[in-house]
């Protein structure tokens, strides 16, 4: 395919064999390793989904997805862990919605609001360095993620990015032809056509980055969080108001 490409085959093989010896002591049989961890002395085992729910190959916005299951089923299919060992499931969600690359994004704000969220939130794709597309928090997506994952609680991050806004909208439902649809559409064409129904809330116009407990948050920010909980039916356990570990408020 590349006749002009010259490769030092022996040199490359030698280098890779060297890597193999360095990596060899770190390699384990994954299924047996997890079995031992689950049945040995009690441990806390944390499994992280590598991407967001809507990038899941089966339940995401196909074809704009990744190549694996990053929803809760990935614990079983990716690690060989039996389902009865899955304990608490925590959903991590920003206080607004973002997406990298193409694909339907009903609450996207292609305006100064989207630009503000992008710049204040430093929203760049980790792998590609592309600007993330930004919009209002989409609770239809969050509820859909909850249907699949069964969240025990939520971590609501980057609340501080909304500190400067006069008013904040939350996408609470999708309409198609003027009628509410009770589910998240699997079809991209339909998703492109939905109209978002919003709830508008007053902004708190206060710096929240110094907040360390629930009582430190402005009442309007507390109302925003409670609104998310009420619509999704899942309690918010953590609220993020900055980059540092100390900026994560634990509610219970």
Does 150 carry a binding-site annotation? no
Q: Token digits for 35?
A: 């079995």
| φ, ψ of residue 94 in degrees (nearest 5) | -70, 165
Does 240 carry a binding-site annotation? yes
Does 131 carry a binding-site annotation? yes
Q: For residues 59 and 148, is the Cβ–Cβ distance under 8 A?
A: yes
Q: Could you give the angle at the alpha carbon of 27 between the alpha carbons of 22 and 30, nearest 5°?
A: 165
Q: Which CA distances in Å does 8 have to 2, 3, 14, 15, 216?
A: 14, 14, 10, 11, 62
Residue 74: CB partners within 8 Å, gap ≥ 6? 47, 49, 56, 68
Does 130 carry a binding-site annotation? yes
Does 132 carry a binding-site annotation? yes
Q: For residues 123 and 161, is the Cβ–Cβ distance under 8 A?
A: no
Does 14 carry a binding-site annotation? no
Q: Report the C-alpha gap between 131 and 140 in whole angstroms.
A: 23
Q: Report the C-alpha gap between 26 and 33 in whole angstroms.
A: 12
Does 51 carry a binding-site annotation? yes
Does 103 carry a binding-site annotation? no
Residue 70: is it exposed, middle or buried by C-beta count within 10 angstroms (0-12/13-18/19+)? buried
Does 126 carry a binding-site annotation? yes
Does 17 carry a binding-site annotation? no
Q: Token digits for 127?
A: 């792998």
Peptide bond into 63 cis (omega under 30): yes
Binding-site annotation: residue ranges for GTP: 132, 158-160, 240-242
Residue ranges at the known binding site? 51, 66, 126-132, 158-160, 240-242
Q: Indicate the annotated binding residues for IMP.
A: 51, 66, 130
């Amino acid at each position: 395919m590349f006749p002009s490409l010259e490769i030092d085959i022996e040199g490359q093989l030698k280098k890779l064999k060297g890597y193999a010896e360095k990596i060899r002591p770190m390699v384990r049989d994954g299924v047996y390793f997890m079995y031992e961890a689950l049945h040995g002395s009690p441990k806390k085992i944390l499994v992280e989904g590598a991407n967001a729910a809507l990038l899941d190959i089966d339940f995401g916005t196909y074809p704009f997805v990744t190549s694996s299951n990053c929803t809760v089923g990935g614990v079983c299919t990716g690690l060989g862990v039996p389902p009865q060992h899955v304990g608490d499931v925590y959903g991590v969600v920003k206080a607004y919605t973002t997406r990298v690359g193409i694909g339907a994004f009903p609450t996207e704000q292609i305006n100064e609001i989207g630009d503000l969220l992008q710049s204040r939130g430093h929203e760049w794709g980790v792998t590609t360095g592309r600007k993330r597309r930004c919009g209002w928090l989409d609770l239809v997506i969050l509820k859909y993620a909850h249907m699949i994952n069964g969240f025990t609680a939520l971590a609501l991050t980057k609340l501080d990015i909304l500190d400067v806004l006069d008013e904040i909208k939350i996408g609470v439902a999708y309409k198609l032809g003027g009628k509410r649809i009770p589910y998240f559409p699997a079809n991209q064409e339909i998703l492109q056509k939905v109209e978002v129904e919003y709830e508008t809330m007053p902004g708190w116009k206060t710096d929240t980055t110094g907040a360390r407990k629930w009582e430190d948050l402005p009442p309007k920010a507390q109302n925003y969080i409670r609104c998310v909980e009420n619509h999704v039916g899942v309690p918010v356990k953590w609220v993020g108001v900055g980059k540092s570990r100390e900026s994560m408020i634990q509610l219970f």
